[in-house]
């Protein structure tokens, strides 16, 4: 019978592991003790095996000599690490020296995944987008898609032109989602009559982007200076909710705008919208899709219309069935059309602007590059033909030869004045 250990004596189940040999050398302790006894007898002449119990209590180890505590040193302050990779990329590939990388300048994986990294879909990778890419490649903690390279509210208010008023992060509906926010921009000068309004909807493949990115922030501020009341809208991305959540959200934002028209001096009968890529798809849905389609969602202000009176859409996806064999066909969690595969085709058609073509559509300006490999120009070609076949007359397609997906900013000398003229004609003159 094994006697109990006396106080101060610790049972060790695996002395081999304690010595650093690992579990592969562990033996049942009792079977190992005879070997230990033989070794100890040969060495010191008295058998001692703490685990089997000795007749005499092992002597306590002598107290460790006191030593002076080492002087505590102040923690060293490390200089922040400088990420040299973006600068190296620019040095290697920035052929025109503008501090940005166009698709044609990139190569390899950067070219292959160009659109994924072009968060604001303006056709170039700027310093913020290159820094975000480098951080992801380095395996660092990935910041939320919405926050990459976009200004904080403090920065936004500090950088806004002095002649406009900015109201940041307005909740257009209450609830758990942080995406239900918009920024509002309007002239500070008083107006004799209600002003027209513009809704800016960012792109990013429905999976990234932000209301304060690139063209959508700059455009909203510039058009506020031109006399419009502008909102730039966030919506739920597909990592939070699949299609049609994004459609429901932008519709709710338009209803919010109309419900608060008097507070911000907006004419609710003169509301237009601009979007690029995924944002272009969403603004087309704002122009074409009425309440009967069942895409209003469960947000507030249901007594207000979510339809706009004019739409400018650059590089717009118009029919999801044209993306044959692409990621739009996936139905797993986090995909654009997450859900059951049985009704995938129906859900794709329900979310496609092409489904809603009719004679009485509002004025439309479509801009598309013939060399767009992300959203092929076929989307606009098929869409415009269907509209004209239905009897729609106020439809314009700017088909820019050789232009890529970032056509709107790549050819800004043509596209920007065209949009300004379009909205002036449709929202200011009342024609």
Q: How confident is the model over 221-254, as pLDDT tens digits?
A: 999 999 999 999 999 999 999 999 999 999 999 9
Q: pLDDT-derived band of residue 394, with 50, 70 and 90 as boundaries?
A: very high
Domains of the chain by range and CATH? 85-143 (1.10.238), 151-428 (3.40.50.1820)
The pLDDT of residue 420? 98
Q: pLDDT-derived band of residue 139, with 50, 70 and 90 as boundaries?
A: low
Mean pLDDT (the chain, rounded): 83
Q: pTM of the predicted model, to two decimals?
A: 0.69
Q: Residues 137, 141, 145, 149: is their CA dihedral positive or negative?
A: negative
- Beta-carbon contacts of residue 55 (< 8 Å; ≥ 6 apart): none
395-400/364-369 β-pairing: parallel
Q: pLDDT-derived band of residue 19, with 50, 70 and 90 as boundaries?
A: very low
The pLDDT of residue 424? 98
Which one is predicted more confidently, 13 or 342?
342
Q: Per-residue pLDDT averaged across 165-183, rounded?
A: 97
Rounded (10°) angle between helices 245-259 and 278-288: 60
- Beta-carbon contacts of residue 303 (< 8 Å; ≥ 6 apart): none
Q: pLDDT-derived band of residue 403, with 50, 70 and 90 as boundaries?
A: very high
Q: pLDDT-derived band of residue 149, with 50, 70 and 90 as boundaries?
A: low
The pLDDT of residue 45? 41
> What tokens does 28 get?
């049942």
Q: Residues 310, 373, 404, 204: is their CA dihedral positive or negative?
A: positive
Q: Per-residue pLDDT averaged across 370-399, rounded?
A: 97
CA torsion 193-227-366-393 (nearest 10°) is 30
> What tokens does 168 get?
């940041």
If one counts every other C-beta atom within 10 angstroms of the C-beta of residue 320, the result is 26
Hunting for tokens 């006191």 — which residue is that?
66
Rounded Cα gap, residues 77 and 330, in angstroms: 48
Which one is predicted more confidently, 14 or 205?
205
**Residue closest to 274 by CA, chosen among 410, 415, 429:** 415
Helical spans, DSSP H, in 65-160: 85-93, 108-112, 114-117, 127-137, 153-159
Does position 57 have pLDDT exceeding 50, yes or no? no
Each residue's pLDDT tens digit, 353-380: 999 999 999 999 999 999 999 999 999 9
């Amino acid at each position: 019978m094994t006697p109990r250990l006396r106080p101060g004596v610790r049972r060790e189940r695996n002395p081999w592991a304690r010595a650093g040999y690992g579990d592969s050398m562990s033996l049942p302790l009792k079977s190992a003790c005879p070997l230990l006894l033989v070794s100890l007898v040969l060495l010191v002449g008295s058998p001692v095996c703490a685990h089997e119990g000795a007749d005499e209590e092992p002597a306590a180890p002598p107290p460790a000599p006191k030593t002076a505590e080492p002087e505590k040193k102040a923690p060293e302050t490390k200089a922040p690490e400088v990420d040299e990779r973006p600068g190296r990329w620019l040095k290697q590939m920035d052929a025109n020296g503008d501090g940005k990388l166009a698709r044609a300048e990139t190569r390899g994986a950067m070219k292959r995944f160009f659109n994924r990294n072009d968060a604001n879909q303006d056709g170039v990778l700027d310093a913020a987008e290159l820094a975000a890419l480098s951080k992801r490649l380095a395996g660092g903690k990935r910041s939320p898609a919405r926050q990459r390279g976009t200004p904080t509210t403090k920065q936004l208010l500090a950088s806004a032109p002095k002649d406009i008023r900015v109201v940041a992060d307005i909740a257009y509906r209450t609830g758990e989602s942080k995406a239900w926010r918009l920024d509002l921009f309007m002239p500070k000068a008083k107006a004799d009559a209600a002003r027209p309004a513009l809704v800016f909807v960012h792109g990013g493949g429905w999976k990234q982007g932000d209301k304060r990115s690139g063209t959508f922030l700059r455009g909203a501020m510039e058009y506020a200076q031109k006399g419009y009341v502008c909102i730039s809208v966030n919506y739920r991305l597909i990592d939070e909710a699949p299609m049609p959540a994004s459609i429901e959200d932008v519709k709710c934002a338009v209803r919010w705008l109309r419900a608060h028209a008097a507070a911000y001096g907006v004419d609710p009968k003169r509301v237009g919208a601009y979007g690029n890529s995924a944002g272009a798809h969403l603004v087309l849905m704002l122009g074409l899709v009425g309440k009967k389609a069942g895409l209003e969602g469960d947000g507030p202000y249901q007594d207000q219309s979510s339809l706009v009176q004019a739409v400018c859409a650059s590089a717009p996806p118009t029919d999801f069935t044209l993306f044959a064999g692409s990621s739009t066909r996936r139905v797993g969690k986090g995909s654009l059309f997450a859900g059951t595969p049985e009704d995938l085709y129906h859900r794709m058609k329900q979310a496609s602007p092409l489904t809603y073509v009719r004679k009485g559509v509002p004025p439309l300006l479509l801009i598309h590059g013939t060399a767009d490999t992300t959203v092929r120009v076929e989307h606009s070609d098929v869409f415009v033909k269907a509209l004209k076949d239905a009897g729609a007359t106020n439809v314009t397609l700017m088909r820019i030869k050789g232009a890529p997906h970032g056509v709107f900013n790549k050819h800004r000398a043509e596209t920007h004045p065209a949009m300004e003229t379009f909205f002036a004609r449709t929202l200011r003159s009342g024609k």
